Amino acid sequence: MGNQNFQEKEMSSILNYNNTIKTPESLSHFDSMVHDDVDHTNSIGVINQDMNDLLRLICRILLSYILEGQKSTISEQSMIFDEIHYLKIKWYTQQLSNHMDILPFFGFFQKEIKPEFPVPTVLQIFDFIKPTFENLFVQHECVVMMLIYVERLITEGGVQLSSTNWRPIVYTGLLLSSKIWEDICVLNIDFANLYPYYTIRSTNLLEMNFASALGWRLFISPEQYSKYYFHLKEMISPISRSHLKKRSSLKLIP
């Protein structure tokens, strides 16, 4: 039936469904991935320089958790957050026949595009989080709260961050932290509109799974927040900044 040569579109990034991300050859290349690859001259709009530095650091910490999680078999609890469960399906459609007037219902070939989940770089994590602050005007405190939630998932929920689940976890952590922190919280539909590859149904399900994995323990005391915040500020001080790239682990978890 005409030309049926099929070339599958290569899918190498969920973020905007582009093919610009390359999977690292080995997870041992930690230093090259953790280095600060965010352009310092490119302002992120409403985020000031202090927030810029804080966000870069948190992205490096998240990457360290992803690399650590990749080293062992992923637990069932971790797989609950695998991105494949929450994404909208994308299809590749190809015309198979030049005789559409004769065979209008048999002239196309359609195949589901299977996404790939490479280990991200710091810049890719940064670019994933950035729209929350630029477009939804979420306060910078929420990114610190998101990190606290992620570490609770790891230490108390038995969840490992990996290349297949880090985006849903970070996405939901930001959503929940904005609801806890903001006087007028951002709605699920606002997040789903900003990240259109997650439907509102997927967003609601992620929120429920995330809160359930935390045992619905979403409260963060002022003392715990302050401890995290000042620890992070200390890590991005001029003295600490030069050592961040050399560290093999950027974890805050004791």
The domains of the chain, with CATH numbers, are: 19-89+117-244 (1.10.472.10)
* HEC secondary structure over 29-58: CHHHHHCCCCCCCCCCCCCCHHHHHHHHHH
Tokens of 16: 């905007």
Q: Reduce the DSSP state of residue 240 to 3 states and report it.
A: helix
Q: Which tokens is 123 given? A: 């810049």
Convert the pLDDT of each residue in 203-239 to its tens digit. Answer: 999 999 999 999 999 999 999 999 999 999 888 865 4
- The phi, psi pair for 198, rounded to 5°, reads -110, 125
**What is the pLDDT at residue 1?**
40
Q: What is the pLDDT of residue 75?
A: 87
Q: Report pLDDT digits (tens) over 163-174.
A: 999 999 999 999
CA 96, 101, 104, 109: dihedral to nearest 10 degrees?
10
Q: Shortest CA distance to 33 belongs to which of 125, 170, 117?
A: 125
Q: What is the mean pLDDT of the chain?
A: 74
DSSP state of 96: -
Whether the per-residue pLDDT at 186 is higher than 80: the answer is yes
What's the rounded Cα separation, in Å, for the pair 194 and 94? Answer: 29
Q: Is the pTM of this model over 0.85?
A: no
Q: From 89, 35, 25, 22, select the one nearest 64 (Cα to Cα).
A: 35
Q: Quick one: which of 31, 17, 6 has its CA closest to 248?
A: 31
